Structure 1
Amino acid sequence: MVTFSANLGFLWADLPLPAAIRAAKAAGFEAVECHWPYATPKAEIRAALKETGFEMLGLNTPKSAGGIGQFGLSALPGHEALARAVIDQSLSFADDIGARSLHVMAGIASGAAAQASFCAALTHACHQAQQSGLTILIEPLNRYDAPGYFLNSLAQAEEIITSVNQPNLKLMFDCYHVERSEGDVITQLQARLPLIGHIQFASLPNRKSPDQGTLDYTQVFAAIEALGWTRPLGAEYHPDGVTENSLDWMHTLRP
């Protein structure tokens, strides 16, 4: 059966993170994930996760550090030491709250030097993450929402995963970003299933709840189920108003 994770970067974003975790449980989600939880005391996050029985599926490395970066800094030539330090701090936080994965954000960059910096940062992240059993994720972002972001296609992500060649480096497959950039989400899912570590979704083109827009998530969720995927899918969308009022899709679209 398809199950769902609430991405608390967008859902219940008006609540403190521990309260958002509890709200996701009350709404019927099976797991949670977040973006940047670093300002919340780890003990409070752990307490909310223990109370709900949830696992924190993942979090992101910070978008910037020391005044450097906008959408991350792991692909920024000349800032390799800072990128490694940020990764280490993020992995420590993730491990302390029992998270399953860390999304390493690349940043605004291009070219061979940027790719070399990104691959070096990911190699470091994968080696460090092995100590706690975390998965490292990379995610192509579409050019409309994140202009200039280094990682912007599935083919580029596949090339990097192959080049780094670490078993705990996986693809974050966001249906919204993939459909906006490349289209044909179901075919892309089928082709790259062995590389995928997490799947997220939102409507097209406005990144709202999945029962809106042009992408038929009844078909997408059924296809994911048919592929044998058993881990929760991340609901990463902007709700219209109160989050609880945007959740009918959990009943109408679930296969």
Structure 2
Amino acid sequence: MPRLAANLTMMYTEHPFLDRFKAAAGDGFSGVEFLFPYEFAAADLKSRLEENGLTQALFNAPPGDWAAGERGIASLPGRESEFQRGFEQALEYAAALGNRSLHVMAGLIGSGQDRAAHRDVYLKNLAWAARAAAPAGIAVVIEPINTRDIPGFFLNRQDDAQAICAEVGADNLKVQFDIYHCQIVEGDIAVKLQRDMAGIGHIQIAGVPDRHEPDLGELNYPYLFERIDALGYTGWIGCEYRPKAGTSEGLGWAQPYLANH
């Protein structure tokens, strides 16, 4: 049975952010994730989790200048010190919120830029982050993202992500398998889940192609949930989608899983 975490960045946008925790709990979610916590005090977020009986599943390390279009800095040459400072801040928040996974975004690479140089920086930063996170029992996760949603994103394929993790060789470095992104770039979801499950640290879902509820679009999520269960995955599955209308009104697809959680 999937353990569903509501993504509070994309879901429950009918409410102010700090009120989304209560809304998610009211609909039966026991876990939440979001992109970034840094505009809020960790104590305020922790109190919302505790008041509503929620577990923090995941959030992202600082991504650089998000408003200016940056989408991570882990692979960007010359930004290593900034990456390390940001990741240390993420560890401080994780210590307060209790999550055991941190997502590190790779960043963008422009046409004509040296991919090998970016990859070298990426591996070194990931190795550093994995070492920094290990004493707290935290996993670092990296996510392949489709280039339709984020043109120029450095990491796009599941096999590339798994190869990077293998090359770094840290036990706490895993892949964040976003089914939405994988379907757009590669497809063949069930086979890739089976091939890579040992290296998957977090799963996310959304309908394809429009990133609405998982029951809208081309994927058969009840079948995929059964496959994920059969493969022994017991981690969180983040619902990282944009509700087509109201968040609560669109949760019919989730009721069999929330009711039995």
Report Cα offsets for 1:48-85 as digits up to 9, x if no partner: 11122221111012232499871111100111111111
Report Cα offsets for 1:213-255 as digits up to 9, x if no partner: 0111121111111112222311110002221111010136789
My pick for the range that moved more, 227-236 or 9-18, is: 9-18
Say which of 201, 210, 219 aligns to 1:206: 210
The match for 2:221 is 217
Report Cα offsets for 1:98-141 as digits up to 9, x if no partner: 12211001100261110111111111111111122111000000
Structure 2: runs of 5 or more not aligned? none
Report Cα offsets for 1:165-200 as digits up to 9, x if no partner: 111101100000011100011111000000000111
Alignment of 1:46-65 (within 5 A): 46-65=46-65
Q: Identity, % of aligned pairs?
A: 37
Q: Is the 2:201–2:235 contact (alpha carbons within 8 Å) kept by the matching residues of 1?
A: no
What secondary structure sits across from 2:135 in the alignment? coil
Q: Are 2:9 and 1:9 aligned?
A: yes
TM-superposed deviation, 1:14: 4.2
Q: Is the 2:184–2:209 contact (alpha carbons within 8 Å) kept by the matching residues of 1?
A: yes
What secondary structure sits across from 2:5 in the alignment? strand
Q: Is the 2:14–2:246 contact (alpha carbons within 8 Å) kept by the matching residues of 1?
A: no
Amino acid at match of 1:54: L
Q: Provide the C-alpha distance between the structure 1 equivalents of 2:179 and 2:229, rounded to a whole number of angstroms.
A: 15
Q: Provide the C-alpha distance between the structure 2 equivalents of 1:67 and 1:177, rounded to a whole number of angstroms.
A: 22
Q: Provide the C-alpha distance between the structure 2 equivalents of 1:192 and 1:180, rounded to a whole number of angstroms.
A: 18
Q: 1:48 and 1:67, CA in 2 relative to 1: closer, same or farther beyond 3 A?
A: closer
The match for 2:128 is 124
The match for 1:242 is 246
- Output the TM-score relative to the length of structure 2: 0.92
Q: 1:218 and 1:49, CA in 2 relative to 1: closer, same or farther beyond 3 A?
A: same
The match for 1:147 is 151
The match for 1:185 is 189
Amino acid at match of 2:13: A
My pick for the range that moved more, 233-242 or 59-68, is: 59-68
Q: Are 2:77 and 1:77 aligned?
A: yes
RMSD of equivalent CA atoms: 1.9
